[in-house]
Chain A
């Protein structure tokens, strides 16, 4: 069963539009961690944010904001006033306790964001 669902395969917007990337996760653990990563065409996965299951406080970092809602198992990511440089694939990831005791991130399928000038 898929643990992280990113239902939007591709989103296309025009520069300066706001855009929200959805992430829904599934876990039975009470302690878990959620992440967002950005992957530009160069290939490197760039860490954006981490949230633990006990911290539902929303966060804003410049044009980026994240809305974590345990009640709906969602961790959505909004980019305000999008720019062409935001074009990338964005992955949501869940890290929960594995059988060996480690916490290993499992990635959603990713959402490709294309921002047109």
Chain B
């Protein structure tokens, strides 16, 4: 099983709404990532969790709040977003740790977010 599952697949939200994106993997991976991808651009790293602790925050605005409740789940809480935050949000996981050094990341299908 090399599957990373993201829900929802599509989300439309207003600028005053609060919503959450969810990501789940059952590969025993200990590193999980959030990427943001605008149209015709490469994925850009937002956050990295390593062993359920936030290890990298790429200076992401506080209106994006990540959470890692356990080793299989990763959430991204959204609040007071702007229209320019509309994008494809991708979750990924990789083995992590010294054993997982340089191993490939597996990606979910993403959540297409539209902020109106």
Chain B associates with chain A: yes
Binding site for B on A (CB under 8 A): 31-33, 35, 37, 42-47, 50, 52, 91, 95, 98, 100, 102-110, 112
Neighbour of A45 across the interface among B40, B43, B45, B102, CB < 8 A: B43
Contact B105 A33 (CB under 8 A): no
Contact B107 A45 (CB under 8 A): yes
Given contact pairs A43-B110, A107-B42, A107-B43, A102 touches B90 in the complex (Cβ within 8 A): no
Contact B105 A105 (CB under 8 A): yes
Binding site for A on B (CB under 8 A): 31, 33, 40-43, 45, 48, 50, 55-56, 88, 90, 92, 101-110, 112
Contact count A vs B, C-beta below 8 Å: 56
The minimal Cβ–Cβ distance linking A53 to chain B, given in whole angstroms, is 9
Distance A107 CA – B102 CA, assembled complex (angstroms): 14
- Chain A CB within 10 A, most for which of B41, B42, B48, B107: B42
Contact A102 B55 (CB under 8 A): yes
On chain A, the residues within 8 Å of B90 by CB distance are: 43, 45
The minimal Cβ–Cβ distance linking B11 to chain A, given in whole angstroms, is 13
Contact A100 B106 (CB under 8 A): no
Neighbour of B56 across the interface among A33, A45, A98, CB < 8 A: A98
Given contact pairs A91-B42, A110-B42, A102 touches B56 in the complex (Cβ within 8 A): yes
The minimal Cβ–Cβ distance linking A3 to chain B, given in whole angstroms, is 11
Distance A106 CA – B35 CA, assembled complex (angstroms): 11
Could you list 4 further interchain pairs (A-B, Cβ under 8 angstroms) beyond the known A43-B110, A52-B102, A108-B42?
A42-B109, A44-B107, A102-B56, A107-B43
